[in-house]
A and B are shown apart, each in its own frame.
Chain A
Amino acid sequence: MPSHLLTVIAFLPLLGVPALLLLRGDDHTWIRRIALAVSLAEFAISLFLLRGFDSVNPGYQFEEYYDWIARAGIHYHLGVDGISLFLVLLTTFLTPLAILCSWQAIHENVKGFFIALLVIETAMIGVFVSLDLLLFFFFWELTLIPMYFLIGIWGHGRRIYAAVKFILYTMFGSILMLVAILWLYNLAGAFDLPDIQAKLQTGMVLLPARTELLLFGAFFLAFAIKVPLFPLHTWLPDAHTEAPTAGSVILAGVMLKLGTYGMLRFCLPLFPDAAHRMAPLIGVLAIIGIVYGAMVATVQTDLKRLVAYTSVSHLGFVVLGIFAFSTISIQGAIFQMLSHGISTGALFLGVGMLYDRRHTFEIKEYGGLVNPMPVLMSFFLFIALSSLALPPLNGFIGEFLILIGTFQNHHAWAAWAASGAVLSAIYLLWAYQRVGFGEVTVEKNRNLPDASGRERLILATMAVAIIFMGVASPLFTRRMQSSTDSLLQQMDRVQSASHRTATPELAGKQVGRGPTQHKNASAKKISLRRVQP
């Protein structure tokens, strides 16, 4: 019997939408409860993915394949592998928390808010599980509109500016990706990702070097804007700062990963030559992002903006890991995506809780908060430590794997990137010191209430996730292993397929590449699976 688990997971949140629509607009309690129930059910069901997931199989699992617009070659094709599995879980894990944290913060148009959150959950999961390029693009664009509303309606001060900037930036990138998808269709005759991969691997379809570079560029631009990679990051601080807490959690926790996921899923396996050719440039941009993001974060006076800039820095690590092309660095990158989702999501949750009390993000408005709010601030410290990669917490594993993996191929990159880890300690601890320690400087802060039961639940859940990911990291990496191996093998196969008819220029390049990335080549059986309609 074919499994429909992915369809269920992808569309269950949408089922909550009519349920919410039926409720009266001012029945806030039940709107919240139903939204939470749907998202919790969603999380519970998504755990079945773990049970059925075969970690030895590097290919796509839980596949579903149906004709959609057959005449145009568009199919409804879903599947997960070791790369996307945990990103789906991250999404289903963070959404209930985002709903919980909006329990009291959102007063106006509550129904619309939770509908937007549920729609965005469907869209994000859809992005992670789509194996058809156009289906992917459908979901990719679908993420934009709810987020646009989340920022624009329920955001803070300059919300409209931030919302429009966010959506125009992202659309500009994605429309060129659409052109690239269509062009690829013309060359390969399919929108189906495994199909295209198979054609590239067997050399049935050869991309000329210039075409490959242009296609890579169009895809990469869309993803780099989403990540965001320096110097395309300018939408991010605005969007984050103005978004409501739940929006920031979703944005930082999951949506930024859509970009890095896209790089792993499309840029690398489809255009390996171009990826190798552009890697030096991208690596340098990623390192600039790491250092620059950290330095800018240090000097922020706005707590939320500070956290936003840490994302630029941390996502720089992810991009670096991906474009270092080693199994370890790519695993590290995937792990870092998850861990950044948890840590930064938690940071935004904490900042949101402060905002709920004082309605400001200015650091100088706070100070000495440990005295009135010992529990909240302890959790906050713990989260900050996880974000600055303290062993044995989650952030450490990701950064460490990335740095090791990068070091294998590029010593200098790793050295520069490591400085980002140091800087992250500076900006986070300094910020924490100014907010938490010392005397209470602002009189209003003296009697702030400590974390409520709901807030403790949220923070404790996050803390457990942080510790769990830190100490039980093999549970994660084991499931990523075979997919990352096969990813690198696919890159090699595509490259060698194109080199069979290669130009001398490219053949020369191949010699120059480091040997380390091939070392796992014999480890696992490779699935040369092809999907038949």
Chain B
Amino acid sequence: VIPFPREQIGNFHRLAPEIILCAFGIVIMVADPFVQAAHKRALGWLGLIGALGGLVGVHFMAHDPGNAYSNLIRADSFSIFVHLVVMGAAALAILGSFNYLDHENIQRGEYYALVLFATAGMGILAGANELVTAFIGLEMSSISTYVLAGFRRKAIKSNEASLKYFVLGSFATAFFLYGIAMVYGATGTTRIDLIADALQKMMADQGQVASLAILGLALMFVGLGFKVVVAPFQVYAPDVYEGAPTPVTALLASGPKAATFAVMLRIFYVSFGAAGNFWFWAVWISAVLTMIVGNFAALVQTNVKRMLAYSSIAHAGYILVAFAAGTDIGIAAVLFYLAAYALMKIGAFLVIAHLGQQGEKRLEITDYAGLGSRQPVLAICFSLFLLSLLGLPATGGFLGKLFAFQAALDSKVVWLVVIAAINSVIGAYYYLRVMVAMYFWEPSKEYLPSKVAPTLAFALAIAAVGTLYLGILPARVLELAKVAADSIYLR
């Protein structure tokens, strides 16, 4: 007789968000064939409800935190924080997709289902307490996003994005898997907390950590660094971000980045943090490269979407600055940055999605000429996101950078902060250039502004208000981030 797995059933609520997301995803998939083409949008609303249902699931999770499924999953404040970011990002991306899919003529149910599956994968990543579980989460989110990137099937660029992302992404996840294997070989476990114990014991017994474990960490850094888009693993990102449908780009740039940074924090800080800071220089160098590559490449772009793709590389660099701190303050700074970054980046990409018009034709900077007088509200919104990306005070982006710099300085990582600061001024140039076009150039005659759909307007309003909220009254979110940072080490 197989014993009744009481422990497994009793743990459902700690995986509630993922269960809800997947359930809605499956429902959408099943319902899709029965819904007429004209009513496909209803599936989108179902998807939105699913994403919001995920947030309800987070509530269950928050109610009774702890480990689940033989310690494979951890429902702690840290996981909850990242869940909120990821699901908020998914909800905003879905809201911004309705009209985009309509005018691209690709309104289909599986789009929303894939978004939900990807989000569930990100949720698993955020809560993973075990490396193979993390791998499953990574694959789940990656494979869904490979498909989403190619969702404009008839556009060559979209196909290119999908294929490139798939081939290189598979390669990167293989690196990650290899790294897991090596860490397992060195420590005899794949549990994140037990690896820490094993490494500490190793340090105590032998005075050093087995080089196999460090090699494993390095390989995992390659795999995860690919997903969060840090140099030198960033090469694919501009093409993929540019080719993917813009709402998908919005999701790609925010959700997977947040979830992957979360699992990176767990692996680097919890598993490998206690045994000594041997990843510091890898992160330091990668941060410098990422910022420089992202910013300098963005300087010369004329395509705004591509420019924002490079800008999100640069922002991964700023996050690495906070990451390099190696302290609780660093974790809190990373988390706060991820929240602020998700809001402003999704906002910016959704504006681009709208302005691109059918077939994503209008993405050049010259297409933005005179937007300030043609569509003032949209222009103000976009300016807010750009200024936040630039890091101007009173926006979430500024405080994100501020806390990141503060965390790094607290750990005496001074020069990295100086380099980051100078980089953020270089970044100012290309963000301001878009504003120059919007406000200082004469509007082009043949441009016919299209009306902003209510759903998109709602999404933009949330992103804008959120950006300002994080910039002016960040106390609550910062508090949550600090609590989350503390929870990561708890046993």
Interface residues of A (CB under 8 A from B): 68-72, 109, 134, 137-139, 141-142, 144-145, 148-149, 152-153, 159-160, 163-164, 167-168, 171-172, 175-176, 178-179, 182-183, 185-186
Contacts and interface: CB of A to CB of B under 8 A. Distances in A.
Given A153-B440, A163-B440, A178-B402, A168 B393 contact: no
- The 4 A-B residue pairs whose C-beta atoms are closest, nearest first, are A138-B393, A175-B421, A152-B440, A141-B393
Nearest to B332: A71
Interface string B400-439: 0011011001100010011001101100110011001001
A465 B392 CA distance: 36
A72 B406 contact: yes
Interface string B450-489: 0000000000000000000000001100110010000000
B394 interface: yes
B428 A167 contact: yes
A134 B417 CA distance: 17
A21 to B, nearest CB: 10
A127 to B, nearest CB: 12
A142 B393 contact: yes
Nearest to B393: A138
Contacts of A72: 403, 406, 478
Contacts of B475: 68-71
A71 B409 CA distance: 17
B439 A168 contact: no
Given A70-B475, A179-B421, A183-B414, A137 B393 contact: yes
B105 interface: no
A142 B475 CA distance: 21
Contact of A178 (B421, B474, B479): B421
A179 B417 contact: yes
A118 to B, nearest CB: 16
Residue among B393, B403, B421 with max Cβ neighbours from chain A (10 Å): B393
A159 B405 CA distance: 34
Contacts of A178: 402, 405, 421
A141 B429 contact: no
A516 to B, nearest CB: 38
Contacts of B418: 176, 179
15 contacts: A109-B373, A141-B393, A142-B393, A149-B439, A159-B440, A164-B429, A171-B425, A171-B428, A172-B425, A176-B421, A178-B405, A179-B405, A179-B409, A179-B417, A182-B406
Given A71-B482, A167-B432, A186 B409 contact: yes
A182 B414 CA distance: 10
A176 B373 CA distance: 34
B177 interface: no
A183 B409 contact: yes
A175 B424 contact: yes
B387 interface: yes
A182 B392 contact: no
Contact of A71 (B393, B414, B432, B478): B478
Nearest to A142: B393
A137 B406 CA distance: 15
A69 B472 CA distance: 9
Contacts of B393: 137-139, 141-142
* Interface band, chain B: 20 to 34
Contact of B406 (A167, A171, A185): A185
Given A152-B436, A178-B402, 9 more contacts: A69-B399, A71-B479, A72-B403, A145-B387, A148-B432, A149-B439, A167-B428, A168-B432, A178-B421
Given A175-B422, A182-B405, A141 B436 contact: no
Given A142-B394, A145-B387, A176-B421, A164 B432 contact: yes
A148 B438 CA distance: 13
Nearest to A139: B393
Contacts of A144: 392
A182 B436 contact: no
B203 to A, nearest CB: 29
Contacts of B394: 138, 142
A141 B436 CA distance: 18
B429 A168 contact: yes
A185 B402 CA distance: 12
Nearest to A108: B373
Contacts of A185: 406
Contacts of A182: 402, 405-406, 409, 417
A134 B479 CA distance: 19
A142 B432 CA distance: 15
A134 B393 CA distance: 9
Contacts of A69: 399, 474-475, 478
B478 A168 contact: no
B439 A152 contact: yes
A68 B402 CA distance: 15
Contact of A153 (B402, B422, B439): B439
B410 A186 contact: yes
A178 B398 CA distance: 11
Contacts of A186: 406, 409-410
Contact of B436 (A70, A145, A164): A164
Nearest to B383: A145
From B421, B422, B474, B479, residue with most partner A Cβ within 10 Å: B421
B300 to A, nearest CB: 16
Contacts of A164: 429, 432-433, 436
Contacts of A171: 425, 428
Question: Which of A152, A159, A182 is packed against the most chain B CB atoms within 10 Å?
Answer: A182
A178 B425 CA distance: 12
Contacts of B433: 164
A344 B354 CA distance: 46
A69 B405 CA distance: 16
Most chain B CB atoms below 10 A, which of A71, A137, A139, A163? A71
Residue from A70, A178, A186 having most chain B Cβ neighbours under 10 A: A178
A182 B425 CA distance: 17
Contacts of A134: 402
A175 B373 contact: no
Contacts of B479: 71
Contacts of A145: 387, 392
A109 B433 CA distance: 20
A235 to B, nearest CB: 14
Contacts of A152: 436, 439-440
Interface centre among A134, A159, A183 (most CB of B within 10 A): A183
Contacts of A68: 475
A175 B417 CA distance: 10
Contacts of B439: 149, 152-153
Nearest to B436: A160
A533 to B, nearest CB: 14
Contacts of B432: 148, 164, 167-168
A167 B429 CA distance: 9
Contacts of A172: 422, 425
Contacts of B422: 172, 175-176
B339 to A, nearest CB: 15
A141 B373 contact: no
B425 A168 contact: yes
Contacts of B417: 179, 182
B395 to A, nearest CB: 10
Contacts of B425: 168, 171-172, 175
A166 to B, nearest CB: 11
Interface in B328-384: 373
A404 B288 CA distance: 50
Contacts of B410: 186
A182 B398 CA distance: 13
A308 B230 CA distance: 45
Contacts of B373: 109
A137 B421 CA distance: 14
A260 B249 CA distance: 46
A247 B279 CA distance: 51
A278 B475 CA distance: 39
Specify which of B399, B424, B440 lies most central, judged by the most chain A CB atoms within 10 Å of its CB: B440
A270 B428 CA distance: 29
